Amino acid sequence: MAIKNVGINIHSYGITATAIGAHAGGLIGYNLFGDVVIENCYVNGDVTAISSGGSAYAGGLIGFSWDDVSVTIKNSHATGNIFAITLAYSEPNRVAAYAGGLIGLHGGEANIADSYTTGTISASASDDSLFANAYVGGLIGACNMLTVENSYTTGTISASASAPVANAIAGGIAGVTVFIMKNSYATGTITATSSGAAIAGGLIGNDNGGIVDNCYSTGNIIVSGAYGYAGGLIGISWGGTIVNSYNTGNIIGTATSVIDTTTSELDSVVCVGGLIGSLSGNGDIETVVNSYATGNIIVTSIYSEFNTVTVYAGGLIGAIDDNPLVIVNSYTVGAVIATTHSVVGATIHDCAYAGGLIGKSAGTVTIVNSYTNSQITATAHEYAYAGGLIGKSAGTVTIVNSYAAGSVIATATFTYVSGIVFAESIVSSSGSGTDDENGFRYTAVTTMSTSGNAYAGGLIGQIEGAVKIESSFVMGDVTAIATPGGAYAGDLVGNRGTLDVTNCYLISGTEIIGKTLTKSACEEFPREDLRELLSVIGWDTTIWTINPDGLPYLIGLTQPSPEKTLISAAPSAFVTKLNGNKNGLTITVTERFSDGTTKAVLATFSIDNNAAGTYQVGDYRVYVDTKGNTQIRTCYIVE
Reduced 3-state DSSP string for 498-531: EEEEECEEEECCCCEECCEEECCCEEEECHHHHH
Which range, 125-129, 197-201, 486-490, is most confident?
197-201
Task: Set out the domains of the chain in order of their start, with CATH numbers.
Answer: 306-563 (2.160.20), 566-638 (no CATH)
Over the stretch 319-366, which tens digit does the pLDDT of each residue have? 998 888 999 999 998 898 988 765 544 445 778 898 999 999 988 999
Q: Is 618 left (phi over 0), alpha (psi -120 to 50) or beta?
A: left
- What is the identity of the amino acid at 338? A
Amino acid sitting at position 500:
D
536 membership: H or E segment, kind and range:
helix 533-537
- Quick: pLDDT tens for 104-122: 999 999 999 999 999 999 9
pLDDT > 90: what percent of the chain? Answer: 43
Taking only the tens place, the pLDDT of each residue in 526-568 is: 878 878 888 888 899 888 988 776 778 888 776 444 456 677 7
pLDDT for the residue 421: 31
pLDDT over 80 at 453, yes or no: no
Compute the distance between CA of residue 84 and CA of residue 10 in angstroms, rounded to an integer: 18
Picking from 10-14, 133-137, 357-361, 543-547, which range would have the lowest pLDDT averaged per residue? 10-14
Strands 331-333, 292-293: pairing is parallel
Is pTM beyond 0.95? Reply is no
| CA 311, 317, 321, 322 torsion-angle sign | negative
- Strand 221-225 and strand 251-255: pairing? parallel
Q: Which of 305, 281, 311 is nearest to 384 (CA)?
A: 311
Query: For the chain, how far is it from start to end, CA to CA, in angstroms?
Result: 18
Q: Answer for the pair 159, 123: CB distance below 8 angstroms, yes or no.
A: yes
Query: Do 240 and 284 form a contact (C-beta atoms < 8 A)?
Result: yes
Instruction: Report whether 413 contacts 379 (CB < 8 A).
Output: no
Give the Cα-Cα-Cα angle 607, 609, 611 (nearest 5 degrees). Answer: 60
* Cα separations in angstroms, 410 against 170, 478, 570, 633: 32, 12, 55, 69
Please check the confidence at residue 577 and state whether its pLDDT lies above 50. yes
Q: Residue 426: what pLDDT?
A: 31
φ and ψ at 143, to 5 degrees? -160, 145
Check whether 479 has a pLDDT greater than 60. Answer: yes
Rounded Cα gap, residues 405 and 389, in angstroms: 9
Confidence of residue 135 (pLDDT cuts 50, 70, 90): very high
Mode of pairing for the β-strands spanning 358-361 and 478-482: unpaired
Q: What is the pLDDT of residue 67?
A: 82
The confidence score (pLDDT) of residue 331 equals 94
Q: Mean pLDDT over residues 579-583, rounded?
A: 80
